[in-house]
Amino acid sequence: MQPAPCRPAELPATFDAVTDADASKPNERVLVSACLLGEPCRYDARTSKDGVLLRELAESGLAAVPFCPEEHGGLGTPRPPAWIERTNAANVLDGVERVVTAAGADVTAQFVRGAEGALAACKAHGIRRAFLKERSPSCGVCQTHAAGRLVDGPGVTAELLKRSGIEVTGIEGRR
């Protein structure tokens, strides 16, 4: 069976505007890659602020919980570019693959710690959905970097959240 096509720039059809009847309920919290909210936490200390995502979250009555797995895992900003060494994020989480920088430094522990922190944040806030930065070795949902090139498949954080039942949506950013 062919998996459903990945549409990183689209929000799920379940994003309906909050009605007056919902106004008394607390806003649903969703995890959002901090760079998509305008935080300069990308590896190159830039942002991927996405105005479309911000507007759609507000219109849908969703409360963003910003999170950067790489910073949470202990990597500074700026930091060297990194990628999954050979295969995929599932193998990283299963302990048979590494995440390395362009210079070859092993940053697997920081990536896994960041993914675990994202999951802990979801559990602490009752979060069931996440909007993550596409093409990131942590947050990519449809595409990530492995072996120094862009490949289909999730990053480490997206993979862990998916495994744990969190609905993840990839957002390219800068819209």
* Nearest alpha carbon to residue 157 among 108, 122, 115, 110: 115
Tens of pLDDT along 130-147? 999 999 999 999 999 999
In a domain, 9, yes or no: no
Number of compact structural domains in the chain? 1
In a domain, 73, yes or no: yes
d(C-alpha 33, C-alpha 129), whole Å: 12
Tens of pLDDT along 89-104? 999 999 999 999 999 9
In a domain, 108, yes or no: yes
In a domain, 100, yes or no: yes
Percent of the chain with pLDDT over 90: 82
In a domain, 54, yes or no: yes
Q: Which two tokens stand for residue 151?
A: 């490949």
Per-residue confidence band for 82, with pLDDT thresholds at 50, 70 and 90: very high
Q: 139-172 burial, b if ≥16 CB within 10 A, otherwise e?
A: bbbbbbbbeeeebebbbbbbbbbbeeebebbbbb
In a domain, 92, yes or no: yes
In a domain, 164, yes or no: yes
The predicted structure's pLDDT at residue 25: 53
Tens of pLDDT along 25-38? 568 999 999 999 99
In a domain, 158, yes or no: yes
Q: What residues have CB less than 8 Å from 99, skipping those under 6 apart?
A: 82, 83, 84, 85, 92, 106, 107, 108, 110, 111, 137, 156
Burial label, 80 (beta-carbon count in 10 A; 0-12, 13-18, 19+): middle
Residue 63: domain span = 27-171
